[in-house]
Amino acid sequence: MLEENPTSNKESQQPIILSYVKDIPNLLSLAGLACTLLAIYYSILGIYHITMIGMVWAVAFDWADGLVARKLKERTATHAKFGGQLDVLIDIVSYGVTPAILLLSYGKFDPIFLVGAFIMIAAAAIRLSYFSTYGLAGGTKYTGLALDNNSLILVSIFLLESIVSNEAFTIILYISGVGLAILNVSGIKTPKLSGNPRNVYLLAAYTLGITAIYGFMLI
């Protein structure tokens, strides 16, 4: 009598990869990734007003996927684990790669900006690895500044671009990007903003406000 192969049995029980795309929180995560791609694309083209809109909406979808995931009672532990992994991979692009490309593009891709861009991406990667290992400090606070704050702060700082010289703003953007990266990997304790319902409403208002401001600038 042939013995059943446990490895083969386990593989037969695994769902297909794309089955997780039907999960609503994962769809929201992918919508955020689409906004991030939009931000990267228009950063390279130098149309920064659209970049800012893409960046802030990426944060909005990032918060939304967690909010919806907590509301879905029928969501399995496997779906939650998959969603968590997906979030981390998207976060490195949204909050590490995108701001770095913004800095490179605004600096006309001068090699000196590679240093700042690397610091920003490296800090994001290190922070996400640390968070995946240790999670929240004491279950309520982050160690270091959460990466989504980078985008929220940068889209506000970018409003200065229209009122100061190009040279001055280049320095401001460089210092801001590197400064935020340092805060990301620092030992400071910061609250988990996305877990507070009031903050969700504040983010919604902020997202719509930023969209309106930069949308008006495009006209």
22-218 homologous superfamily: CDP-alcohol phosphotransferase transmembrane (TM) domain (1.20.120.1760)
The answer to whether 198 and 30 are in contact (CB under 8 A) is no
Rounded CA separation 178/160 (Å): 17
Q: What is the pTM of this model?
A: 0.90
pLDDT (tens, 9 = 90+) of the chain, 219 residues, equals 445 555 555 555 788 988 888 889 999 999 999 999 999 999 999 999 999 999 999 999 999 988 888 888 778 888 889 988 999 999 999 999 999 999 999 999 999 999 999 999 999 999 999 988 888 876 678 899 999 999 999 999 999 999 999 999 999 999 999 999 999 999 999 888 876 778 989 999 999 999 999 999 998
Rounded CA separation 179/192 (Å): 20
Fill in the amino acid letter for 104: L
Residue 136's Cα: distance from chain center in Å? 17
Q: Say whether 191 sits in a helix, a strand or coil.
A: strand
Domain ranges of the chain: 22-218
Rounded CA separation 15/24 (Å): 17
Cβ neighbours for 173, distance < 8 A, ≥ 6 positions apart: 102, 103, 106, 154, 157, 158
